[in-house]
Amino acid sequence: MKAIVVDKTGGPEALQFKDSPKPKAEAGQILVKNHAIGVNYIDTYHRKGIYPMPTPFIPGAEGAGEVVEVGPDVTDFKVGDRVAYTGSKSYAEFTPVPVLSAGKIPDNVSYSDASALLLQGLTAWTMVRDGYPVKKGDYVLVHAAAGGVGLLLCQMANLLGATVIGTVSNDEKAKLAKQNGAHHIINYSHEDTVARVQELTNGQGCHAVLDGVGASTFETSLKSVRRLGTLISFGNASGVVPPISIAILGEKSIKLMRPRLYAYIATKEEKDKWWGELFQLLADKKLNIQIYKTYKLEDAKTAHTDIESRKTVGKLLLEL
């Protein structure tokens, strides 16, 4: 089959389009022929070696397609089922997927939409429902508000009744984040985020700060949380947050959380709950899926260059 293979970690050029052995569905797995493959920031961490993986490896954490083979003991799925999944090795024509990581998708949901929504949608929904359960009247600050996770966070926090403040780097992103639920936008290229947050929250700061940018925003995020508030640091787009002394949380008695999605969907019950709620939001037309661009699988390196260049908004996909 055709696949993207990383023999040696590094820049986007590490993503090589190659022939690779076609996998089989082993016990507990289904084999999925991918129709849409999600690009996620974590793919860049794997490619660069920030999250180390044994080489060579096929990157990719999400996809959607049809089941073409089921493992010996698999009863929940059959050949021909339309599925989406989170996991690994999705930058390929075929991906073996443990059944726990896969789910059937409704007939009226396209492979592209399923793959655009799943990983970022689960990340965002678990964050606003469990990481910090957003409630009516809250102020919530969302960094990278026009990004893949960011646009979904804006919509979801708005839906739950919060006043959403989004940070972005340019006016085009500002417009999109506003169209997707942000009430106030801070363009940090020419505005002071901490000062604007204080102004918008009557000097109190935000109940929750949702920060997927990491190193460059951590200080700003700390200053933007209100007394007894919550800071969720969920990613490293600008680099890994350096080690901190927990004493810094004491000044305002704030909670600090560092979630990873996989801890939320570790059992079938958990997976069914969060998937069910997410796809229900979609069925109820409460979510707008924003696809920036669909690239050919062989152009994965361009997709990585683009997402790291900060020019993208919403979701990037690959197709064969």
Ligand X SMILES: NC(=O)c1ccc[n+]([C@@H]2O[C@H](COP(=O)([O-])OP(=O)(O)OC[C@H]3O[C@@H](n4cnc5c(N)ncnc54)[C@H](OP(=O)(O)O)[C@@H]3O)[C@@H](O)[C@H]2O)c1
Q: How far apart are CA 207 and CA 224, in angstroms?
A: 9
Look at strands 29-39 and 315-319 and give their pairing: antiparallel
Exposure on the CB side of residue 306, measured as CA atoms within 13 A? 20
Rounded to the nearest 10 degrees, what angle do helices 268-283 and 111-126 cross at? 110
Backbone angles phi, psi at 34, to 5 degrees: -75, 135
Taking the complex as a whole, the smallest distance from the CB of residue 127 to ligand X amounts, in Å, to 8
Considering the complex, state which of residue 228 and residue 266 has its C-beta at the smaller distance from ligand X. Answer: 266
Residues at the site binding ligand X, with contacts judged by CB under 6 A: 40-42, 119-120, 123, 144, 146-150, 168-169, 173, 212-213, 216, 234-238, 259-261, 307-308, 310, 312
Taking the complex as a whole, the smallest distance from the CB of residue 303 to ligand X amounts, in Å, to 11
Taking the complex as a whole, the smallest distance from the CB of residue 73 to ligand X amounts, in Å, to 29
Taking the complex as a whole, the smallest distance from the CB of residue 292 to ligand X amounts, in Å, to 8
Considering the complex, state which of residue 26 and residue 171 has its C-beta at the smaller distance from ligand X. Answer: 171
Taking the complex as a whole, the smallest distance from the CB of residue 20 to ligand X amounts, in Å, to 25
Contact 218, 211 (CB under 8 A): yes
Considering the complex, state which of residue 78 and residue 260 has its C-beta at the smaller distance from ligand X. Answer: 260
Considering the complex, state which of residue 227 and residue 260 has its C-beta at the smaller distance from ligand X. Answer: 260
Considering the complex, state which of residue 41 and residue 275 has its C-beta at the smaller distance from ligand X. Answer: 41
Q: How far apart are CA 41 and CA 43, in angstroms?
A: 5
Q: How far apart are CA 270 and CA 101, in angstroms?
A: 11
Q: How far apart are CA 198 and CA 37, in angstroms?
A: 40
Taking the complex as a whole, the smallest distance from the CB of residue 177 to ligand X amounts, in Å, to 8
Considering the complex, state which of residue 145 and residue 254 has its C-beta at the smaller distance from ligand X. Answer: 145
Taking the complex as a whole, the smallest distance from the CB of residue 304 to ligand X amounts, in Å, to 11
Taking the complex as a whole, the smallest distance from the CB of residue 301 to ligand X amounts, in Å, to 16
Considering the complex, state which of residue 278 and residue 307 has its C-beta at the smaller distance from ligand X. Answer: 307
Considering the complex, state which of residue 67 and residue 222 has its C-beta at the smaller distance from ligand X. Answer: 222
